[in-house]
Amino acid sequence: MSGLVGWAFVLAMALLPVVAPDPYMLAVLTSAGIFIIGAISLNLLLGYTGQLSLGHAAFFGLGAYASALASLGFDIGIGFGMRLRLEPQPVYVGFLSAILVAGVFGWLLGRLAFRIRGAYFVIITICFAQVLRMLALNWVELTQGPMALVGIPPFSLWWPGQGVVDLTSKAQTYWLVLGVGVLAFLVVRQIVHSRIGRALVALRENETLARSVGIRATHYLVIATVVSAGIAGAAGSLFAHYVRIVDPDVFLFIYTVTMVIMVITGGKGTLWGPVVGGLIFGLLPDMLRGSARPEAQWIAYGAAMILLVMFLPRGIVPAVAAWLPARRPATQALPTPVREGVG
Protein backbone atom coordinates (compact mmCIF):
# COMPACT_ATOMS: atom_id res chain seq x y z
CA MET A 1 0.00 0.00 0.00
CA SER A 2 1.47 3.32 -1.06
CA GLY A 3 2.17 6.08 1.42
CA LEU A 4 -0.58 8.30 0.03
CA VAL A 5 -3.21 5.57 0.30
CA GLY A 6 -2.01 4.73 3.80
CA TRP A 7 -2.31 8.29 5.05
CA ALA A 8 -5.73 8.58 3.38
CA PHE A 9 -6.79 5.49 5.32
CA VAL A 10 -5.54 7.01 8.59
CA LEU A 11 -7.38 10.26 7.83
CA ALA A 12 -10.60 8.36 7.11
CA MET A 13 -10.30 6.47 10.39
CA ALA A 14 -9.60 9.71 12.26
CA LEU A 15 -12.72 11.35 10.81
CA LEU A 16 -14.94 8.38 11.64
CA PRO A 17 -16.10 9.70 15.06
CA VAL A 18 -17.13 12.95 13.36
CA VAL A 19 -18.92 11.36 10.41
CA ALA A 20 -20.49 8.41 12.26
CA PRO A 21 -20.37 9.03 16.02
CA ASP A 22 -21.88 5.70 17.06
CA PRO A 23 -20.61 4.98 20.62
CA TYR A 24 -20.95 1.22 20.25
CA MET A 25 -19.01 1.09 16.98
CA LEU A 26 -16.32 3.35 18.43
CA ALA A 27 -16.00 1.00 21.41
CA VAL A 28 -15.64 -2.00 19.10
CA LEU A 29 -13.04 -0.22 16.95
CA THR A 30 -11.13 0.86 20.06
CA SER A 31 -10.93 -2.72 21.32
CA ALA A 32 -9.91 -3.93 17.86
CA GLY A 33 -7.32 -1.16 17.64
CA ILE A 34 -5.67 -2.22 20.89
CA PHE A 35 -5.24 -5.77 19.61
CA ILE A 36 -4.10 -4.49 16.21
CA ILE A 37 -1.24 -2.76 18.03
CA GLY A 38 -0.45 -6.08 19.67
CA ALA A 39 -0.59 -7.79 16.27
CA ILE A 40 1.76 -5.17 14.79
CA SER A 41 4.25 -5.99 17.54
CA LEU A 42 3.91 -9.75 17.00
CA ASN A 43 4.37 -9.33 13.24
CA LEU A 44 7.86 -7.95 13.83
CA LEU A 45 8.80 -11.33 15.33
CA LEU A 46 6.61 -13.74 13.40
CA GLY A 47 6.66 -11.98 10.05
CA TYR A 48 10.17 -10.57 9.80
CA THR A 49 12.26 -12.99 11.88
CA GLY A 50 10.19 -16.14 11.38
CA GLN A 51 10.12 -16.79 15.14
CA LEU A 52 6.69 -17.87 16.39
CA SER A 53 6.01 -16.50 19.87
CA LEU A 54 2.95 -18.16 21.38
CA GLY A 55 3.48 -16.34 24.65
CA HIS A 56 3.14 -12.82 23.32
CA ALA A 57 0.32 -12.21 25.77
CA ALA A 58 3.06 -12.12 28.43
CA PHE A 59 4.25 -8.71 27.21
CA PHE A 60 0.67 -7.53 26.76
CA GLY A 61 -0.14 -8.54 30.34
CA LEU A 62 3.08 -7.08 31.74
CA GLY A 63 2.21 -3.76 30.14
CA ALA A 64 -1.30 -3.88 31.57
CA TYR A 65 -0.11 -4.64 35.11
CA ALA A 66 2.82 -2.21 35.03
CA SER A 67 0.62 0.65 33.88
CA ALA A 68 -2.17 -0.19 36.33
CA LEU A 69 0.18 -0.52 39.32
CA ALA A 70 1.99 2.72 38.47
CA SER A 71 -1.33 4.56 38.22
CA LEU A 72 -2.83 3.05 41.39
CA GLY A 73 0.33 2.88 43.48
CA PHE A 74 1.23 0.03 45.82
CA ASP A 75 2.74 -0.77 49.22
CA ILE A 76 4.25 -4.25 49.59
CA GLY A 77 6.63 -5.97 51.96
CA ILE A 78 10.00 -7.02 50.54
CA GLY A 79 11.36 -8.85 53.59
CA PHE A 80 13.55 -7.95 56.56
CA GLY A 81 10.87 -5.59 57.82
CA MET A 82 11.18 -3.34 54.78
CA ARG A 83 8.44 -2.20 52.45
CA LEU A 84 8.37 -0.93 48.89
CA ARG A 85 5.93 1.89 48.31
CA LEU A 86 4.92 3.80 45.20
CA GLU A 87 2.50 6.69 45.24
CA PRO A 88 -0.06 6.86 42.41
CA GLN A 89 1.52 8.29 39.28
CA PRO A 90 0.01 10.08 36.26
CA VAL A 91 -1.30 7.81 33.53
CA TYR A 92 1.46 8.77 31.10
CA VAL A 93 4.02 7.51 33.64
CA GLY A 94 2.16 4.21 33.73
CA PHE A 95 2.17 4.07 29.93
CA LEU A 96 5.92 4.64 29.75
CA SER A 97 6.44 2.12 32.57
CA ALA A 98 4.51 -0.47 30.57
CA ILE A 99 6.80 -0.03 27.56
CA LEU A 100 9.92 -0.14 29.75
CA VAL A 101 8.93 -3.19 31.81
CA ALA A 102 7.77 -5.17 28.78
CA GLY A 103 10.94 -4.22 26.89
CA VAL A 104 13.19 -5.36 29.75
CA PHE A 105 11.42 -8.71 29.97
CA GLY A 106 11.64 -8.97 26.19
CA TRP A 107 15.40 -8.52 26.44
CA LEU A 108 15.66 -11.20 29.14
CA LEU A 109 13.51 -13.65 27.18
CA GLY A 110 15.43 -12.94 23.98
CA ARG A 111 18.82 -13.51 25.59
CA LEU A 112 17.65 -16.83 27.01
CA ALA A 113 15.30 -18.18 24.36
CA PHE A 114 17.24 -17.39 21.19
CA ARG A 115 19.90 -19.89 22.14
CA ILE A 116 17.48 -22.40 20.64
CA ARG A 117 15.06 -22.39 17.73
CA GLY A 118 11.94 -24.08 16.46
CA ALA A 119 9.53 -25.91 18.74
CA TYR A 120 11.66 -25.35 21.83
CA PHE A 121 11.44 -21.58 21.39
CA VAL A 122 7.66 -21.82 21.06
CA ILE A 123 7.45 -23.89 24.26
CA ILE A 124 9.59 -21.41 26.19
CA THR A 125 7.38 -18.48 25.17
CA ILE A 126 4.22 -20.34 26.21
CA CYS A 127 5.75 -21.27 29.58
CA PHE A 128 6.90 -17.68 30.09
CA ALA A 129 3.33 -16.39 29.77
CA GLN A 130 1.97 -19.10 32.07
CA VAL A 131 4.58 -18.40 34.75
CA LEU A 132 3.63 -14.72 34.74
CA ARG A 133 -0.05 -15.62 34.96
CA MET A 134 0.56 -17.82 38.01
CA LEU A 135 2.67 -15.07 39.57
CA ALA A 136 -0.13 -12.54 39.05
CA LEU A 137 -2.63 -15.03 40.44
CA ASN A 138 -0.71 -15.76 43.65
CA TRP A 139 1.08 -12.48 44.49
CA VAL A 140 -2.07 -11.14 46.06
CA GLU A 141 -0.38 -8.33 47.98
CA LEU A 142 0.73 -6.70 44.74
CA THR A 143 -1.76 -7.80 42.09
CA GLN A 144 -4.84 -8.59 44.22
CA GLY A 145 -4.75 -12.03 42.60
CA PRO A 146 -8.10 -13.26 41.26
CA MET A 147 -9.84 -10.23 42.80
CA ALA A 148 -8.14 -8.09 40.12
CA LEU A 149 -6.87 -4.53 40.14
CA VAL A 150 -9.90 -2.27 39.96
CA GLY A 151 -10.45 1.46 39.85
CA ILE A 152 -7.75 2.03 37.25
CA PRO A 153 -7.98 5.67 36.15
CA PRO A 154 -9.00 6.51 32.57
CA PHE A 155 -6.63 7.88 29.98
CA SER A 156 -5.48 11.43 30.54
CA LEU A 157 -3.40 13.88 28.54
CA TRP A 158 -1.82 17.22 29.33
CA TRP A 159 -3.40 19.96 27.23
CA PRO A 160 -2.05 23.53 26.95
CA GLY A 161 -4.11 25.91 29.03
CA GLN A 162 -6.22 23.13 30.58
CA GLY A 163 -3.67 20.97 32.35
CA VAL A 164 -4.35 17.25 32.67
CA VAL A 165 -7.58 16.27 30.91
CA ASP A 166 -9.26 12.88 31.39
CA LEU A 167 -10.26 11.20 28.14
CA THR A 168 -13.67 9.94 29.13
CA SER A 169 -15.58 9.99 25.84
CA LYS A 170 -15.55 7.12 23.34
CA ALA A 171 -14.25 9.40 20.59
CA GLN A 172 -11.32 10.67 22.67
CA THR A 173 -10.28 7.14 23.62
CA TYR A 174 -10.62 6.03 20.00
CA TRP A 175 -8.37 8.84 18.78
CA LEU A 176 -5.75 8.03 21.41
CA VAL A 177 -5.64 4.35 20.42
CA LEU A 178 -5.50 5.35 16.74
CA GLY A 179 -2.58 7.69 17.45
CA VAL A 180 -0.63 5.04 19.35
CA GLY A 181 -1.37 2.55 16.57
CA VAL A 182 0.01 4.92 13.93
CA LEU A 183 3.16 5.47 16.02
CA ALA A 184 3.62 1.71 16.45
CA PHE A 185 3.19 1.21 12.70
CA LEU A 186 5.76 3.90 11.91
CA VAL A 187 8.28 2.45 14.38
CA VAL A 188 7.99 -1.01 12.83
CA ARG A 189 8.17 0.43 9.31
CA GLN A 190 11.33 2.34 10.19
CA ILE A 191 12.94 -0.82 11.56
CA VAL A 192 11.88 -2.96 8.60
CA HIS A 193 13.36 -0.48 6.10
CA SER A 194 16.61 -0.11 8.06
CA ARG A 195 19.76 -2.22 8.25
CA ILE A 196 18.19 -4.06 11.19
CA GLY A 197 15.18 -5.03 9.10
CA ARG A 198 17.35 -6.33 6.27
CA ALA A 199 19.31 -8.41 8.77
CA LEU A 200 16.11 -9.84 10.24
CA VAL A 201 14.79 -10.86 6.82
CA ALA A 202 18.16 -12.42 5.97
CA LEU A 203 18.00 -14.47 9.18
CA ARG A 204 14.45 -15.52 8.38
CA GLU A 205 15.32 -16.68 4.88
CA ASN A 206 18.61 -18.44 5.62
CA GLU A 207 20.16 -18.08 9.05
CA THR A 208 23.26 -20.13 8.19
CA LEU A 209 24.03 -17.97 5.16
CA ALA A 210 23.31 -14.79 7.13
CA ARG A 211 25.74 -15.83 9.85
CA SER A 212 28.37 -16.63 7.26
CA VAL A 213 28.35 -13.03 6.00
CA GLY A 214 28.78 -11.61 9.49
CA ILE A 215 25.20 -10.99 10.68
CA ARG A 216 25.01 -11.48 14.45
CA ALA A 217 21.83 -13.51 14.75
CA THR A 218 21.20 -13.26 18.49
CA HIS A 219 21.97 -9.53 18.56
CA TYR A 220 19.39 -8.64 15.91
CA LEU A 221 16.78 -11.10 17.16
CA VAL A 222 17.03 -9.63 20.67
CA ILE A 223 16.57 -6.11 19.26
CA ALA A 224 13.43 -7.27 17.46
CA THR A 225 12.14 -8.92 20.64
CA VAL A 226 12.71 -5.80 22.75
CA VAL A 227 10.89 -3.55 20.27
CA SER A 228 8.10 -6.09 19.81
CA ALA A 229 7.69 -6.50 23.57
CA GLY A 230 7.68 -2.74 24.14
CA ILE A 231 4.91 -2.18 21.59
CA ALA A 232 2.90 -5.07 23.07
CA GLY A 233 3.37 -3.48 26.49
CA ALA A 234 1.96 -0.22 25.13
CA ALA A 235 -1.08 -2.14 23.88
CA GLY A 236 -1.46 -3.70 27.33
CA SER A 237 -1.36 -0.27 28.95
CA LEU A 238 -4.10 0.98 26.64
CA PHE A 239 -6.14 -2.11 27.46
CA ALA A 240 -5.78 -1.57 31.23
CA HIS A 241 -6.89 2.06 31.15
CA TYR A 242 -9.67 1.30 28.69
CA VAL A 243 -11.39 -1.54 30.56
CA ARG A 244 -10.17 -0.10 33.92
CA ILE A 245 -9.72 -3.55 35.47
CA VAL A 246 -6.83 -6.02 35.16
CA ASP A 247 -6.78 -9.62 36.36
CA PRO A 248 -4.47 -12.61 35.70
CA ASP A 249 -6.59 -13.63 32.70
CA VAL A 250 -4.82 -10.89 30.74
CA PHE A 251 -2.03 -13.47 30.27
CA LEU A 252 -4.39 -16.05 28.75
CA PHE A 253 -3.35 -17.92 25.61
CA ILE A 254 -6.45 -16.67 23.76
CA TYR A 255 -4.96 -13.16 23.55
CA THR A 256 -1.88 -14.51 21.79
CA VAL A 257 -4.06 -16.60 19.47
CA THR A 258 -6.08 -13.49 18.59
CA MET A 259 -2.92 -11.63 17.57
CA VAL A 260 -1.55 -14.61 15.62
CA ILE A 261 -4.82 -14.89 13.67
CA MET A 262 -4.71 -11.19 12.82
CA VAL A 263 -1.13 -11.44 11.57
CA ILE A 264 -1.48 -14.65 9.53
CA THR A 265 -4.81 -13.85 7.89
CA GLY A 266 -3.76 -10.30 7.07
CA GLY A 267 -0.36 -11.37 5.78
CA LYS A 268 2.69 -11.95 7.95
CA GLY A 269 5.82 -10.13 6.91
CA THR A 270 3.79 -7.23 5.48
CA LEU A 271 3.33 -3.91 7.22
CA TRP A 272 -0.40 -3.69 6.54
CA GLY A 273 -1.19 -7.34 7.19
CA PRO A 274 -1.88 -7.00 10.95
CA VAL A 275 -4.02 -3.91 10.31
CA VAL A 276 -6.20 -5.58 7.68
CA GLY A 277 -6.45 -8.86 9.58
CA GLY A 278 -7.14 -7.00 12.80
CA LEU A 279 -9.96 -4.96 11.32
CA ILE A 280 -11.61 -8.02 9.80
CA PHE A 281 -11.35 -10.35 12.78
CA GLY A 282 -11.78 -7.55 15.30
CA LEU A 283 -15.09 -6.51 13.77
CA LEU A 284 -16.41 -9.84 12.47
CA PRO A 285 -17.67 -11.18 15.84
CA ASP A 286 -19.65 -8.00 16.45
CA MET A 287 -21.00 -8.02 12.89
CA LEU A 288 -22.29 -11.56 13.44
CA ARG A 289 -23.71 -10.77 16.86
CA GLY A 290 -27.50 -10.49 16.78
CA SER A 291 -27.78 -12.00 13.30
CA ALA A 292 -27.54 -15.61 14.46
CA ARG A 293 -27.41 -17.80 17.55
CA PRO A 294 -24.10 -17.66 19.48
CA GLU A 295 -22.96 -21.11 18.33
CA ALA A 296 -23.73 -20.19 14.70
CA GLN A 297 -21.68 -17.01 15.10
CA TRP A 298 -18.59 -18.95 16.17
CA ILE A 299 -19.10 -21.52 13.42
CA ALA A 300 -19.20 -18.71 10.85
CA TYR A 301 -16.16 -17.10 12.47
CA GLY A 302 -14.19 -20.34 12.32
CA ALA A 303 -15.33 -21.09 8.77
CA ALA A 304 -14.14 -17.67 7.63
CA MET A 305 -10.70 -18.31 9.10
CA ILE A 306 -10.46 -21.77 7.51
CA LEU A 307 -11.47 -20.44 4.09
CA LEU A 308 -8.95 -17.63 4.28
CA VAL A 309 -6.13 -20.00 5.22
CA MET A 310 -7.12 -22.44 2.45
CA PHE A 311 -7.58 -19.99 -0.40
CA LEU A 312 -5.27 -17.16 0.73
CA PRO A 313 -2.42 -19.01 2.46
CA ARG A 314 -0.09 -16.02 2.29
CA GLY A 315 -2.72 -13.68 3.71
CA ILE A 316 -5.08 -11.03 2.41
CA VAL A 317 -2.57 -8.24 1.74
CA PRO A 318 -0.15 -10.35 -0.38
CA ALA A 319 -3.10 -11.78 -2.31
CA VAL A 320 -4.51 -8.33 -3.09
CA ALA A 321 -1.05 -7.10 -4.07
CA ALA A 322 -0.71 -10.03 -6.49
CA TRP A 323 -4.10 -9.32 -8.05
CA LEU A 324 -3.43 -5.65 -8.65
CA PRO A 325 -1.76 -4.86 -11.97
CA ALA A 326 1.92 -4.22 -11.60
CA ARG A 327 2.70 -0.56 -11.84
CA ARG A 328 5.67 -0.03 -14.05
CA PRO A 329 7.28 3.35 -14.53
CA ALA A 330 6.73 4.81 -17.95
CA THR A 331 9.84 4.53 -20.06
CA GLN A 332 10.76 7.29 -22.41
CA ALA A 333 11.87 6.39 -25.90
CA LEU A 334 15.61 6.71 -26.19
CA PRO A 335 16.95 8.57 -29.20
CA THR A 336 18.28 6.34 -31.93
CA PRO A 337 22.04 6.72 -32.11
CA VAL A 338 23.20 8.32 -35.34
CA ARG A 339 26.31 6.95 -36.94
CA GLU A 340 28.43 9.78 -38.16
CA GLY A 341 30.02 9.46 -41.50
CA VAL A 342 33.78 9.17 -41.75
CA GLY A 343 35.76 11.47 -43.90
Confirm whether 128 is domain-assigned.
yes
CB atoms within 10 A of CB 64: 32
Q: Which residues contact 190 (CB under 8 A, 6 or more apart)?
A: none
Confirm whether 7 is domain-assigned.
no
Q: What is the crossing angle of helices 57-72 and 217-243, to 10°? A: 50
120-135 pLDDT, tens digit per residue, is 888 899 999 999 999 9
Instruction: Read off the pLDDT band of 332 (50, 70, 90).
Output: very low
The CA distance from 254 to 55, in Å, is 10
Strand 74-79 to strand 156-159: parallel, antiparallel, or no bridges (unpaired)? unpaired
Confirm whether 1 is domain-assigned.
no
Confirm whether 207 is domain-assigned.
yes
How many whole angstroms from its chain centre is CA 132?
19
Q: How many domains does the chain have?
A: 1
Q: Check whether 321 has a pLDDT greater than 90.
A: no
Dihedral, 220, 226, 230, 232 alpha carbons, nearest 10 = 80
165-222 pLDDT, tens digit per residue, is 777 788 989 999 999 999 999 999 999 999 999 999 999 998 889 999 888 988 999 9
Range of the structural domain that residue 102 is part of:
23-251
pLDDT at 60: 96
Among 106, 69, 18, 42, residue whose Cα is nearest residue 261? 42
Confirm whether 179 is domain-assigned.
yes
48-59 pLDDT, tens digit per residue, is 998 888 889 999
Confirm whether 307 is domain-assigned.
no
What amino acid occupies position 13?
M
Confirm whether 161 is domain-assigned.
yes
Q: Which residues contact 68 (CB under 8 A, 6 or more apart)?
A: 94, 149, 152, 240, 241, 246
Q: For the whole model, what pTM was predicted?
A: 0.89
Confirm whether 73 is domain-assigned.
yes
8 Å CB contact between 273 and 267: yes
Helix, strand or coil for residue 187?
helix
